[in-house]
Amino acid sequence: MKLYSKLIKTIKYSSIVLLAGLTSCNDDYLEVGAYGTPLLENFYETPTDAEQGLNAAYSPMREMYGVENFLASNSNDFLFGDIGTDDILKGGARVNDGPQLFEKETYTLQTSNNSIRAVWDVSYKGVLYANLVLQKVPPITFDDPDQKKQILAEARFLRAYYYFDLVNSFGGVPLIDEPLEPGKYAVPRATEAAIYTFIEDDLKIAIQDLPSRFTKGAEYLGHADKGAALGLMMRVSLYQNKMSQVQTYGEQFLLLPGYELEADFGTIFNPEGEWGTGSVFEINYASNTSKLGSRLTHMMTPRSKGGIGFGQIKEDLRNEFEPNDPRHDASFYNVTGGYGTEWFNRKYSWDPYSNYSKPNVGGAGNSDTNIRVLRLADVYLMYAEAIYDTDPATAVEYVNKVRTRARGTALPTVVPDLPLTLSGQPLLDAIYHERRVELAGEGLRYHDLIRTGRAAAILGGQGYQSNKNEIMPIPFNQVQLSQGVLTQNNY
């Protein structure tokens, strides 16, 4: 059973208590109990409480793609993040459908944009829930000390995950490492460097204390493990251009047993591909219960097929694929009619474009499609990029692992291996190409262009401006609530 199918109840942190009955000064024998949601003060007392608190800390991660928060589900990197790149068109029913996405596509983001507010709100909710686990769980007595260590390590991973989204979206943000007391909410922005250091410190503990999922049972799938922490640390390091650090953590990852590229690229984004040997981290969803599904597939499905039609594939991306590359047809499909490019993301699709069935519980958005956050192919390509100038032969080896899998059973002339002698800028360009086609439609293009310094040259014609559009504006309501403590970005 998927992890989130067990998480029907998210812990609510409030001080509201429902009282039943009436009391009087003469009826002191009548004791009225508290009902409703548990109070924070008396909740974190047992290992079961700790597990439930950790489950709550996973919930905002799921919410960014989930059916219960419509706004958040079109504000993640798969849609909002990559809209406006050379890969993804906003789509929808018309040019101005989805005004918050239209602002992203045209580089006219306003501080009142609802999507940037969703990224901020959901991410800081995740930070709060992770902070509560890290503050409240240490005093709890566990019969199994490894269980406590693992819970705290997962909370560290989650806090790093949420802050990574925040720093990529807004730059330096308020650094909050514990639940805040009333009246202490106006926290100034920390520097971007300080946020990254904080993320790395959390991930170092997670790497040290988390087990590998390959040593656990199926019930563990959906939890962060050592491989996920190492993979995220590689991405965090890559986005800072700390290539020696990417190499260090990549070498640690490559020592882990159990990981292997799936033989058929086309199976990865189908039900049979969930948590395969090439999966590093996924967000689990279930459609057998209302409100536990992902809305991303609904967002990306054509309107004529019951979806909303956002996140369409641009011709520039399709032309990046080499002739006969099987990944093209495994990644995209064409539905004629309607507004946009008429090409859609097969990686998040339903029958007949994938083996996922359309939801029949909880509405059209309640898909059981897992979100693939980190894949082994990405790890290989990050590692290759980190060492391309110091060990080009090994870099070529790891790129060729990805290309060999891509062609599958086709002739070696299809997606041919890179020459073993390739080096320098041609090798780096080949790695960039491989990332674009292998990871197409997976929410990484915008950040890849920014971190490699190519955004202005490639996206300038679409309105992108250097020293501005690398990050988004701080939501206006947050600046207002802080009474001027939060300073705005260049917007």
More confident residue, 484 or 84: 84
Q: 19 forms bridges with which residues in the sheet?
A: 34
Pick from 120, 197, 116: nearest CA to 166: 120
Alpha-helical (H) ranges within 41-113 are 47-63, 70-73, 99-105
Buried b (16+ CB within 10 A) or exposed e, 203-241: bebbbebbbbbeeeeeebbbbbbbbbbbbbbbbbbbbbe
More confident residue, 184 or 232: 232
- What's the gap between Cα 438 and its chain centre? 17
pLDDT at residue 6, as a whole number? 34
What tens digit of pLDDT does each residue of 150-168 get?
999 999 999 999 999 999 9
What tens digit of pLDDT does each residue of 311-356 get?
999 999 999 999 999 999 999 999 998 899 999 999 999 999 999 9
Q: Identify whether the C-beta of residue 366 lies closer than 8 Å to the C-beta of residue 398.
A: no
What tens digit of pLDDT does each residue of 274-318 get?
999 999 999 999 998 888 999 999 999 999 999 999 999 999 999
- pTM for the full predicted model: 0.92
Long-range contacts of 46-51 (CB under 8 A, 24+ apart): 46/140, 47/140, 47/142, 47/143, 47/144, 47/147, 47/148, 49/140, 50/133, 50/136, 50/137, 50/140, 50/142, 50/148, 50/151, 51/151
What tens digit of pLDDT does each residue of 409-466 get?
999 999 999 999 999 999 999 999 999 999 999 999 999 999 999 999 999 999 999 9
Q: How far apart are CA 44 and CA 48, in angstroms?
A: 9
Instruction: Give the chain's domains with CATH numbers.
Output: 43-481 (1.25.40.390)
More confident residue, 329 or 21: 329
pLDDT at residue 31, as a whole number? 40
Side-chain half-sphere exposure of 366, counting CA atoms within 13 A: 15
Q: How far apart are CA 194 and CA 365, in angstroms?
A: 38
End-to-end CA distance of the chain: 46
Q: Identify whether the C-beta of residue 38 lies closer than 8 Å to the C-beta of residue 130.
A: no
Q: 91 forms bridges with which residues in the sheet?
A: 310
What tens digit of pLDDT does each residue of 238-261 get?
999 999 999 999 999 999 999 999
